[in-house]
Amino acid sequence: MELSKDRLKQISEFEGKIGYTFNDKKLIDVAFTHSSYINESRKQSLSNERLEFLGDSILDMIVSEVLFTHYSNKPEGWLTKTRSRLVCTDSFAKACEKFDLTKYLRFGKGEKKQGGKLKKHVKADTFEAVCAAIYLDSSYEFLFKFIIERFKDEALEVIEDESIFNDYKTKLQEYYNSHGKKALNYELVDEKGPEHDKTFTMAVKDGKKVLALGLGKNKKNAQQDAAKNALEVIKNV
């Protein structure tokens, strides 16, 4: 099926943003098609889900290669932790926002009403799909260069922020282990805000005793914040 003039205009606008012209316009069209659109429309049969899968793997490879090459003095543990911070939903969602990718994403009416383009995982998935489309339309080398040139500064901010490697949950558990105490557990206390921008409150507990509470935009971060607060309490006792 041929793409409409309006759709081609959207694609052309996006190409202008990233400085690349697609040979296969239908490829980037699919990258900008959410599964909800397919579920509600009979006009197209492909969503961007398969491209997301491919994009995730390719981006993992690119980040791994860059870290391995440019940080030859860093141990495997550092490389793994740094890669996990770069190849993740939060990181990819921010990359998506840099080019406002969800502006071009076609949704089903239901998903659109629910604020689909504001959801972090949708943004991240879109970025993965677009990267896969660029890779298939050009080459690994081109995508590699594109990622380095467009996202170097953002990546360096993450890499140079050593505070992100503070695993407070592990530190807190190690403290309790050294004092012969049992394993701690984390419990969801509250969650507030719209679906695309929730704030979670987690409690870290020793049995039934609450040691501290923590806040975060996801449960994992809230757990880390709770553990950090518990360690602060221990220091002041």
Q: What are phi and psi of 147, to 5 degrees?
A: -65, -45
Residue 2 designated active-site: no
Q: How many angstroms separate the CA atoms of 115 and 122, rounded? A: 10
User: In sequence order, what E strands does the chain have?
Assistant: 185-192, 199-206, 209-216
Residue 197 designated active-site: no
User: How many angstroms separate the Cα of 52 from the Cα of each of 4, 111, 156?
Assistant: 24, 18, 24
Residue 146 in tokens:
């594109």
One-letter amino acid for residue 133 of the chain = A
Of 29, 52, 56, 137, the active-site residue reads: 56
Q: How many angstroms separate the CA atoms of 63 and 87, rounded? A: 7
> Tokens 């993992």 map to which residue?
60
Of 52, 111, 125, 128, the active-site residue reads: 128
Q: Name 232's Cβ contacts closer than 8 Å, sequence gap at least 6.
A: 212
Cite the active site residues.
56, 128
